[in-house]
């Protein structure tokens, strides 16, 4: 899924989708909620521009590459719970996120460069990270 532009969509659901390749360069300017629950991606999830999204879910998602370069300026809830990532989770800009959940997540790479200045709750319980957890910007 590349260069997808849905200028009027307010709810976008990729639940239980299988993607052979990357999910990248999504431009969903009006989306309030975006759901990738139970999605399987053989590549990366990157360069998502979701300027109005309040809630983004990656719960129970499998990504064979990285999750990186997510710009979610309005998201208050972001869930990665029970997600498997064969690469890194990095460069997430979540300036308004109040709750971010990595519970039961498995990452073979690093979790790094997360900007969570408003986070009130960040959960890493029962999470396995084979690499480093570094450069977390928390309040």
pLDDT means over runs of 10, the chain (139 residues): 88 94 91 96 91 95 94 93 95 92 95 90 93 84
Closest CA to 97 of 39, 41, 56, 42: 56
- Give the pLDDT confidence score for residue 138 in this predicted structure: 78
- Give the pLDDT confidence score for residue 21 in this predicted structure: 94
- Give the pLDDT confidence score for residue 92 in this predicted structure: 87
For residue 2, give the DSSP letter.
B
- Give the pLDDT confidence score for residue 71 in this predicted structure: 85
Largest separation between any pair of C-alpha atoms in the chain = 40
- Give the pLDDT confidence score for residue 27 in this predicted structure: 85
Beta-bridge mates of residue 107: 85, 129
Q: Quick check: 69 and 50 in contact, CB under 8 A?
A: no
Q: Please report which residue ranges of 53-109 form alpha helices under DSSP H.
A: none
- Give the pLDDT confidence score for residue 70 in this predicted structure: 87
Closest CA to 50 of 99, 100, 101, 92: 92
């Amino acid at each position: 899924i590349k260069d997808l532009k849905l200028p009027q969509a307010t709810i976008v659901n990729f639940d239980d989708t299988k993607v052979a390749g990357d999910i990248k360069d999504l431009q969903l300017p009006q989306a309030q909620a975006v759901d990738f629950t139970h999605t399987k991606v053989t590549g990366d999830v990157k360069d998502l521009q979701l300027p109005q999204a309040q809630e983004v879910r990656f719960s129970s998602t499998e990504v064979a590459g990285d999750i990186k370069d997510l710009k979610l300026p309005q998201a208050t809830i972001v869930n990665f719970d029970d997600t498997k990532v064969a690469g890194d989770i990095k460069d997430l800009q979540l300036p308004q996120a109040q709750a971010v959940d990595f519970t039961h997540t498995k990452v073979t790479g690093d979790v790094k460069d997360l900007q969570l200045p408003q986070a009130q709750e960040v959960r890493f319980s029962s999470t396995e990270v084979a690499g480093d957890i570094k450069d977390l910007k928390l309040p």
